[in-house]
Structure 1
Amino acid sequence: MGPRPRRADAQRNYDRLLAAAARVFAERGTDAPLDDVARRAEVGNATMYRHFPTRTDLLVAVYADEVSQLCAGGQALLAAESPAEALHEWLRLFMDHITSKRDLALAVTDDGSATALVAEWHASMLTTASALLDAAKRAGAVRADLDVRDLLTLVRGIALAAADRTQADRLLALIDWSR
């Protein structure tokens, strides 16, 4: 039997803390005072620590939520009229995820204790990318020999090497996967 569902007020506080932490960490870095997170969520410190006993617990929850949102975005794009455009759009979202969540990802994996979670997150992103790539292949919109791992590695390289978003978008547009 899994964990019991949270009461509605506890779930609201959890969600507020998660959203506040994502904003605070994006603005001030992963070392931002946790008091700022509680204040931004408009809850007391005790409430925050009841949900997230350690900074790592909060970091993991925020990053897991970011990965879930990225994958949900990919699932929504599967319904797009153009599978090639859907794939390209998700790769752009993936690239943004890498660049904007890099410090968060590094903080979560700093001590090596999140190895299983990291594998789970990578598998989720790989599954999402595979579904989008397969749809584009079925539509004849991309090369049949494209490998999803190669594609993600290429996009990750662009995200880490580009000087800014404009250059990253230009580099992503240079990829010709239609032949």
Structure 2
Amino acid sequence: MTGDEGHVTRSRRPLRADARRNEDRLLEAAAAAFARDGMNASVKDIARAAGVGVGTLYRRFPSKELLFAAIYRLEVQRLCEAAPRLAAARPPVEALREWMERFIDFMAAKEGMADALRAVLSDDSEKLETRAMLAGAIDHLLTPAQGTSVARPEVKDQDVLMALGGISLMAGAEGRRELATRLIGLLLHGIVKN
């Protein structure tokens, strides 16, 4: 085994429990800082809020963009993981509405970080993977509604995702979160059978 192979092996090992806790705290602190200050968030403040040194932050995330990318991926994963829990806990239309509201909040938290988000998603395969994950979450909520004849069978998960993206852009441009909720209601009116 060459030295390079050893490095690859080490980098793929799961993090130790203390390192995992540090990373979790860093991601939580960074998410709050980016939501509050956008890409102007201070790396020193993030490290301090996480209870770690700046060196620890830079060892794991050598740039602010890589830290943002890790947060973005984690938040997409959490949003997608919420779909099956909501589907199990709520009636289909209510579960879909709540997930849509969470999606809008997720997108609103990225406001002011559009340039960084474009950099994170500059790889077309990553964009496609993210879209597929989000569409899969919607499908997880839409299928039960269609299976119980509550939702129109012709509605597709990709259509709902595109509509949510439009709602997010409009409400964000207007700076009116309540507009998003109203538009979600209209979107659901088109999804749900009368």
Question: Do the structures match in fold with TM over 0.5?
Answer: yes
Deviations 1:19-69 (A, max 9, x none): 110011111112322111111111111111111111121011010111011
**Which amino acid in structure 1 is aligned with residue 192 of structure 2?**
S
Query: Displacement, 1:80?
Result: 2.6
**Which amino acid in structure 2 is aligned with residue 93 of structure 1?**
R
Q: Which residue of 2 aligns with 1:118?
A: 127
**Which amino acid in structure 2 is aligned with residue 178 of structure 1?**
V
Contact 1:63 1:105 in 2 (8 A): no
**Which amino acid in structure 2 is aligned with residue 145 of structure 1?**
E
Give the whole-Å Cα distance in 1 for the aligned partners of 2:50 and 2:123.
Answer: 26
The SS at the match of 1:29 is helix
- Say if 1:123 and 1:21 are closer, same or farther in 2 by CA, change over 3 A: same
Give the whole-Å Cα distance in 1 for the aligned partners of 2:29 and 2:120.
Answer: 24
Of the three residues 5, 8, 24, the one matched with 1:15 is 24
Give the whole-Å Cα distance in 1 for the aligned partners of 2:121 and 2:130.
Answer: 15
1:11-50 equivalence runs, <5 A: 11-50=20-59
Q: Which residue of 1 aligns with 2:13?
A: 4
**Which amino acid in structure 1 is aligned with residue 73 of structure 2?**
A
1:15-94 equivalence runs, <5 A: 15-94=24-103
Range with bigger deviation, 61-70 or 86-95: 86-95
**Which amino acid in structure 1 is aligned with residue 15 of structure 2?**
R
Contact 2:134 2:161 in 1 (8 A): no
Give the whole-Å Cα distance in 1 for the aligned partners of 2:68 and 2:123.
Answer: 11
Q: Which residue of 1 aligns with 2:169?
A: 160
Give the whole-Å Cα distance in 1 for the aligned partners of 2:59 and 2:163.
Answer: 41
Of the three residues 184, 187, 190, the one matched with 1:172 is 184
**Which amino acid in structure 2 is aligned with residue 148 of structure 1?**
D
Give the whole-Å Cα distance in 1 for the aligned partners of 2:53 and 2:37.
Answer: 20
Of the three residues 124, 136, 146, the one matched with 1:137 is 146
Give the whole-Å Cα distance in 1 for the aligned partners of 2:44 and 2:26.
Answer: 11
Contact 2:104 2:164 in 1 (8 A): yes
Of the three residues 153, 156, 160, the one matched with 1:147 is 156
- Say if 1:124 and 1:102 are closer, same or farther in 2 by CA, change over 3 A: farther
Residues paired across the two proteins, number: 179
Query: Displacement, 1:113?
Result: 4.3
**Which amino acid in structure 2 is aligned with residue 100 of structure 1?**
A
Larger Cα Rg: Structure 1 or Structure 2? 2
Over the matched positions of the two proteins, sequence identity in percent amounts to 39
Query: Displacement, 1:13?
Result: 0.8
- Give every structure 1 segment of 4 or more consecutive aligned residues whose post-TM-superposition deviation is greater than 6 Å: none
Q: Which runs of 5+ in 2 are unaligned?
A: 1-8
